[in-house]
C-alpha cells in the first residue's frame, strides 16, 4: 500500500483511506432526515497487515471515539468523526472563467496505514466471526455486504475456502455478499464485473474471481444505470482498479441495498 495507485501520485494507502472516509461521510448524509441520522445500517472497517515478525495484525481501523469497535451504527459514524480536516479544491468560476480555491471540510474516521504483508485468510476468518454474530442478532435483516480491498495476493494460504464460508452465512433474506477489489499500481485497464475467469490476466485475478459473489440483479441494474456494463452471471469483482473505480465499487452495494429498504 506504499506504492502509488494507477493514474495517481498518491499512495494507495492514502487514496484508500480518503475513499473510505468519503464513503462513510456520504452514507451518513444519505441516512440523514428531519430527525437526524437514522440508524439504517451498521458499518465495520477492518484492516489487516503483519508486523516485523510476520504476525498478523487484524482489527478495526476506526480512529477517534469509536476506535477498536468492529461494528458501529451509521448514526454513530455520522455523529462521531475523529476530526475534521479542511482541504481546498480549485473550482472554475463560470462568471470570470478563473479558478478559485474553495475550502472543503472532510470528516475523518480512518487514517492510512501501510505495513507488512497480506494475511488474507486471517482477515476473512476474523470477518466471519463478526458477521456470524451480527446475523445471529439480526436474523431477518438484509444480508451483510463485505467489500474486501487488497493490493496483493494472500500470504497465509488459499483464501477461497474462507471466502466461501463467509458467503455461506445467511439471513432469512439471503446470503452474505462478498465483493473483491484489487488496487493496482500499474496504469492498466481495469477489469470490472467479469462473468468468467478465463480472460483474467493472472492467477491473483482468478483467485479473486473465485472469492467473489455473483451480482444480484438489483446490483447489476444499478451498475448499468451508472454506465458500467454488467452481463448476466457477472461477479462482484474489480481488478487493476484505480481510485475512481474504487469509489464506484464502494458505492454500488449501498445504493442497491437502499433501494430495497
pLDDT at 91: 78
Q: What is the mean pLDDT of the chain?
A: 86
Please provide the CATH number assigned to the domain covering 12-81+111-259: 3.40.50
Sign of CA dihedral 60, 66, 70, 73: negative
What is d(CA 248, CA 242) in angstroms, rounded to the nearest whole number? Answer: 10
- Highest mean pLDDT among 21-30, 87-96, 251-260 belongs to 21-30
- Judged against a pLDDT cut of 60, whether residue 178 lies above it is answered with yes
> 102 - beta bridge partners?
89
Judge whether 245 and 189 are in contact, CB under 8 Å.
no
pLDDT at 213: 95
What is d(CA 22, CA 8) in angstroms, rounded to the nearest whole number? Answer: 18
- Judged against a pLDDT cut of 80, whether residue 260 lies above it is answered with no
pLDDT at 115: 80
Tens digit of each residue's pLDDT (9 = 90 or more) over 148-172: 998 888 999 999 999 999 999 999 9
Judge whether 171 and 131 are in contact, CB under 8 Å.
no
What does R_g of the chain's alpha carbons equal in angstroms? 19
For the chain, what are the domain ranges?
12-81+111-259
Q: Provide, for the chain, the percentages of residues in helix, strand and coil under a 3-state DSSP scheme, each rounded to the nearest 5.
A: 35, 25, 40
What band does 188 get if pLDDT is binned at 50, 70 and 90? low
- Judged against a pLDDT cut of 80, whether residue 5 lies above it is answered with no
Alpha helices in the chain (DSSP H): 12-30, 74-79, 120-137, 160-168, 203-211, 217-225, 243-259
Supply the pTM of this predicted model. 0.87
- Judged against a pLDDT cut of 60, whether residue 252 lies above it is answered with yes
Tens digit of each residue's pLDDT (9 = 90 or more) over 129-151: 999 999 999 999 999 999 999 88
Residue 172: strand, helix, or coil? coil
pLDDT at 68: 93
- Judged against a pLDDT cut of 90, whether residue 190 lies above it is answered with no
Question: 255 or 173, which is more confident?
Answer: 173
Q: Quick one: what percent of the chain has pLDDT higher than 90?
A: 48
Span of 5-19, 21-35, 77-91, 247-261 with lowest mean pLDDT: 247-261
What is d(CA 67, CA 57) in angstroms, rounded to the nearest whole number? Answer: 15
pLDDT at 34: 80
Give mean pLDDT, residues 21-38. 89
Phi/psi-derived region of residue 12, left when phi > 0, alpha when psi is between -120 and 50, beta in every other case: alpha
> 108 - beta bridge partners?
83
Q: At what angle do helices 12-30 and 243-259 cross, to 10 degrees?
A: 20
pLDDT at 200: 84
Judge whether 208 and 174 are in contact, CB under 8 Å.
no
Q: Which residues contact 217 (CB under 8 A, 6 or more apart)?
A: none
Place of cell 498478523: 56
With the CA atoms of 206, 24, 169 and 219 taken in that order, what torsion angle do they form, in degrees rounded to the nearest 10?
-60
Write the CA distances from 161 to 49, 126, 179, 244, integer angstroms. 20, 14, 15, 30
Give mean pLDDT, residues 200-217. 90
Tens digit of each residue's pLDDT (9 = 90 or more) over 82-125: 999 987 777 776 777 777 778 888 999 999 888 888 999 999 99
Q: Quick one: what percent of the chain has pLDDT higher than 70?
A: 91
- Judged against a pLDDT cut of 80, whether residue 249 lies above it is answered with no
Amino acid at each position: 500500500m506504499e506504492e502509488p495507485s494507477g493514474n495517481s501520485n498518491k499512495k494507495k494507502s492514502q487514496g484508500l483511506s480518503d475513499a473510505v472516509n468519503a464513503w462513510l461521510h456520504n452514507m451518513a448524509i444519505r441516512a440523514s432526515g428531519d430527525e437526524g441520522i437514522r440508524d439504517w445500517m451498521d458499518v465495520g472497517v477492518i484492516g489487516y497487515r503483519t508486523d516485523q515478525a510476520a504476525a498478523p495484525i487484524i482489527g478495526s481501523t476506526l480512529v477517534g471515539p469509536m476506535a477498536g469497535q468492529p461494528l458501529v451504527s451509521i448514526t454513530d459514524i455520522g455523529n462521531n468523526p475523529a476530526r475534521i480536516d479542511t482541504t481546498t479544491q480549485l473550482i472554475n468560476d463560470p462568471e470570470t472563467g478563473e479558478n478559485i480555491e474553495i475550502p472543503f471540510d472532510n470528516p475523518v474516521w480512518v487514517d492510512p496505514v501501510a505495513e507488512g504483508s497480506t494475511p488474507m485468510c486471517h482477515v476473512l476468518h476474523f470477518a466471519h466471526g463478526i458477521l456470524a454474530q451480527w446475523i445471529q442478532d439480526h436474523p431477518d435483516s438484509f444480508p451483510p455486504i463485505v467489500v474486501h480491498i487488497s493490493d496483493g495476493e494472500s500470504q497465509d494460504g488459499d483464501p477461497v475456502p474462507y471466502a466461501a464460508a463467509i458467503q455461506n452465512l445467511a439471513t432469512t433474506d439471503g446470503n452474505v455478499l462478498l465483493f473483491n477489489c484489487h488496487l493496482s499500481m500499474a496504469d492498466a485497464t481495469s477489469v470490472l464485473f467479469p462473468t468468467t475467469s478465463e480472460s483474467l490476466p493472472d492467477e491473483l485475478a482468478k483467485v479473486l474471481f473465485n472469492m467473489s459473489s455473483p451480482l444480484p440483479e438489483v446490483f447489476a441494474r444499478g451498475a448499468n444505470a451508472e454506465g458500467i456494463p454488467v452481463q448476466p452471471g457477472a461477479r462482484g469483482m474489480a481488478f487493476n482498479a484505480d481510485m475512481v473505480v474504487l469509489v464506484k465499487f464502494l458505492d454500488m452495494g449501498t445504493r442497491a441495498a437502499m433501494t430495497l429498504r
